[in-house]
Chains A and B, each alone.
Chain A
Amino acid sequence: MLWPLFLLVTAIHAELCQPDAENAFKVRLSIKTALGDKAYAWDINEEYLFRAMVAFSMRKVPKRETTEIAHVLLCNVTQRVSFWFVVTDPSKNHTLPAAEIQSAIRMNRNRINNAFSLSDQTLEFLKIPSTLAPPMDPSVPIWIIIFGVIFCIIIVATTLLILSGIWQSRRKNMEPSEMVDTEDKRENMITVENGIPCDSLDAKGGHINDAFMTEDERLTPL
């Protein structure tokens, strides 16, 4: 007597949960990729756990606290492992809206992942985008700190070099100051050669050939 009822229920289930059905989501697991040797086989017990996690997530949604595991339907399980699921309301005639399921799963994504020892990439809910963890953002970017350090070192080194150059030239200026007095007297007299001041001979007409102004004279000075 119960058989026709059972058949009716499974028939309704089959209609509600179908690939690309309204409010249905596809789930894809890559257990071998994630765990390698420690991969577990996907069987009906794992499916039960999954349905429990989805029911748990739905229970956290206001007005859906009465969701039971039996309300979560799975279908089309493949080798991949992938399957479709829907969540029905207590009357088991309608499926819950996709938006509610989406937000519920997103809120509890971490818990669901951890239950299966998987991650966002290896346990995929197609059409439910996961919130990615933002990269670490320090208040002061690290590069500015290093830039500041190097910048200060360079400024200090440059200032030191410039200042030491100024000190050195001041020291040089102080030494020959005694000798300058005697030379000044000589410079005030204009040297005259053949009645022509030597300065004017220098300025006009003569070209200075730089190639001959070498310091290391190979010939001894006359």
Chain B
Amino acid sequence: MEKARPQWANPLQFVFACISYAVGLGNVWRFPYLCQMYGGGSFLIPYLIMLVVEGMPLLYMELAVGQRMRQGSIGAWRTISPYLGGVGVASVLVSFFLSMYYNVINAWAFWYLFHSFQNPLPWSVCPLNGNRTGYDAECEAASSTQYFWYRKTLNISPSIQESGAVQWEPALCLILAWLVVYLCILRGTESTGKVEQLANPRTWINAATQIFFSLGLGFGSLIAFASYNEPSNDCQKHAIIVSLINSATSIFASIVTFSIYGFKATFNYENCLNKMILLLTNSFDLEDGFLTASNLEQVKDHLASAYPSKYSEVLPYIKNCSLESELDTAVQGTGLAFIVYSEAIKNMEVSQLWSVLYFFMLLMLGIGSMLGNTAAILTPLTDSKVISSHLPKEVISGLVCLISCAVGMLFTMEAGNYWFDIFNDYAATLSLLLIVLVETIAVCYVYGLRRFESDLKAMTGRALSWYWKVMWAGVSPLLIVSLFAFYLSDYILSGTLRYQAWDAFQGQLVTKDYPAYALAVIGLLVASSTMCIPLGALGTFITRHLKRGDPAPVA
């Protein structure tokens, strides 16, 4: 007799778990960046079209598969076809890569959170140099927030080759982050239901990509969550709700982020003006308070004509302050979350309060997504009878957390942020596209769309709308194939891969080429997960072939 599968206490718990998984850091730091780069409000059009055409159908399909097969990703795909067990393994592997590096972000959020209880905030002032006559040279060249991020938090090395040692402070925070994740998953997944340019082809591609990754398709997390549902659960309604809430959160987050951009741009612009005023006042010994923002241009022209030789000496230091150029600088990723936002926060009133709230929010987003990831890894492991018969669930969870934490120590080294960027850019992108493509084809053509349709009807009691059928069978796979082809050609055409390294002397990022072994790691990351699919099929084929070769049992 099969042991009863744990279930969500009520459908709302399941919805909240999905939302907390889908709404993650990408909503905060990727979507506003894309909006800004690809035309602002008009980016919403391709985004919403892709949501309806690609995001919702694929989300519904993953939830339906999980709810129907009532197993994690490996078991579910093996049930659809024994040759497709590799798809599940690929999902688990990609989830494992993700969990290794994603929790480092939570570690950083903890670090900043703990440092928010000081006055003044540590990233608002530069430390003093050796003989206390001025500020630290690196901090002067960059800014205090950049210095705090690159030097105090990461202690980053000048290039990926110089690995340095494991930094104990971020390592401690990483251990804490994993303990928090372990605490949440200890009681099983049921306890994670907490209360959660148009013509430019690049615009459409980025909209499609953003929807795809924002919903977290292909990791197996959604399958894992849905496998704990009652069979009669209306997952169609939930799929629509989750995707709409995810997009609404992205749009809301971009409103907030744009106001932060505006605040920062205004502040920097006024700072620049003040610096120019001080420079001119000191060079020409003008009366203090004579130069203001309004007469700056006139006085500059007057000085250029009246004292040409002196003006030409000062000319290299004069910058043209422009609000537009400040607004045009868009940042995404960890740079946005930990540099731009913290810089904006340090200039606000009661900055400690905003800082604590902000990093707490980042933590909630990050841990919510981590729980989904670990569910994607743990559900197939606990489903597998081989493993779960030897080890209790708590030990399996503990082992997964321990291994991920140990590998995650790589990202706390001095060159760790460069490895983080490698994992962030390459561990999940191409492999996920392939996984979801194979999933869609498997459900529609290998398992059979009609068979799946009748399964769903028997399970939930509702007929499958023609819209979902058209999307699953035709439109979504075509979209994914075109995305996949675009990214492959982009990688091939752009030649060698490059990364941004922090130069301590200049106080800014410089572009460098990846060394050979880093490129090998990138190739390994992409290949290991994509190869699981054909290898899984091959393995099943071989074992079946061997079994057929055995003598038949005595009848």
Contacts and interface: CB of A to CB of B under 8 A. Distances in A.
Task: Tell me, yes or no, whether A binds B.
Answer: yes
Interface of A: 28-33, 78-82, 129-132, 134-135, 142-144, 146-147, 150-151, 154-155, 157-158, 161-162, 165, 169, 200, 204-205, 209-211, 213-216, 218
B115 A78 contact: no
A82 B281 CA distance: 11
Contacts of B127: 135
A80 B286 contact: yes
Nearest to A146: B114
A146 to B, nearest CB: 5
B132 A131 contact: yes
21 contacts: A33-B289, A80-B286, A130-B133, A131-B133, A132-B133, A132-B134, A143-B115, A143-B117, A146-B114, A147-B114, A151-B179, A161-B183, A161-B186, A162-B186, A165-B186, A200-B553, A210-B71, A214-B70, A215-B2, A215-B4, A215-B5
Contacts of A169: 392
B5 A129 contact: no
Given A147-B110, A154-B179, 7 more contacts: A78-B285, A129-B133, A143-B117, A147-B172, A150-B110, A161-B187, A210-B79
A196 to B, nearest CB: 8
Given A80-B288, A146-B117, A158-B183, A211 B69 contact: yes
Contacts of B230: 216
A154 to B, nearest CB: 5
A152 B296 CA distance: 57
Nearest to A129: B133
Contacts of B173: 147
A157 B79 contact: no
A71 B118 CA distance: 48
Interface in B264-288: 281-282, 285-288
Contact of A80 (B114, B133, B134, B285): B285
Given A151-B179, A154-B180, A165 B285 contact: no
A125 to B, nearest CB: 12
Nearest to B553: A204
Contacts of A162: 186, 394
Contacts of B553: 200, 204-205
Contacts of B288: 29-33, 80-81
Q: Top 3 closest A-B pairs, CB basis?
A: A129-B133, A143-B114, A32-B289
Nearest to A81: B288
A208 B285 CA distance: 91
Nearest to A124: B282
B354 interface: no
Given A165-B394, A214-B70, A79 B285 contact: yes
A24 to B, nearest CB: 16
B484 interface: no
Contact of B282 (A80, A134, A204, A215): A80
B394 A79 contact: no
Contacts of A204: 553
B176 A216 contact: no
Contact of A132 (B128, B182, B552): B128
A82 B285 contact: yes
B176 A150 contact: yes
A8 B552 CA distance: 127
A134 B125 CA distance: 11
Nearest to B114: A143
Contact of B176 (A80, A82, A142, A154): A154
Nearest to B112: A143
Interface residues of B, number: 46
B183 A216 contact: no
Contacts of A151: 176, 179
B487 interface: no
A204 B552 CA distance: 9
B111 interface: yes
A157 B187 CA distance: 12
Contacts of B289: 32-33
Interface in B178-193: 179-180, 182-183, 186-187
B281 A80 contact: yes
B2 A213 contact: yes
A79 B288 CA distance: 8
B218 interface: no
B128 A134 contact: yes
Nearest to A210: B79
Contacts of A205: 552-553
- Counting chain B CB atoms within 10 Å of each CB, the highest count among A211, A215, A216 belongs to A211
A97 B122 CA distance: 40
B75 interface: yes
Nearest to B75: A210
A146 B115 CA distance: 9
Contacts of B110: 147, 150
A154 B183 contact: yes
A138 B134 CA distance: 21
Nearest to A33: B288
A135 B179 contact: no
B132 A79 contact: no
B3 to A, nearest CB: 10
Interface string B76-104: 00110000000000000000000000000
Contact of A134 (B71, B132, B290): B132
B231 interface: yes
A27 B128 CA distance: 23
Nearest to A169: B392
Contacts of A161: 183, 186-187
A144 B182 CA distance: 22
Nearest to A36: B289
A122 to B, nearest CB: 9
Contacts of B286: 79-80
B134 A129 contact: yes
Contact of B118 (A28, A82, A142): A142
Contacts of B134: 129, 132
A209 B287 CA distance: 89
Interface string B226-270: 000011000000000000000000000000000000000000000
B176 A147 contact: yes
Nearest to B129: A132
A144 B172 CA distance: 10
Contacts of A131: 132-133
Contacts of A146: 114, 117
Contacts of A214: 70, 231
Nearest to A122: B288
B352 to A, nearest CB: 11
Contacts of A209: 79
Nearest to B175: A151
A154 B172 CA distance: 13
Contact of B128 (A135, A154, A157, A215): A135
Contacts of B70: 214
A158 B191 CA distance: 14
Nearest to B393: A165
B175 to A, nearest CB: 8
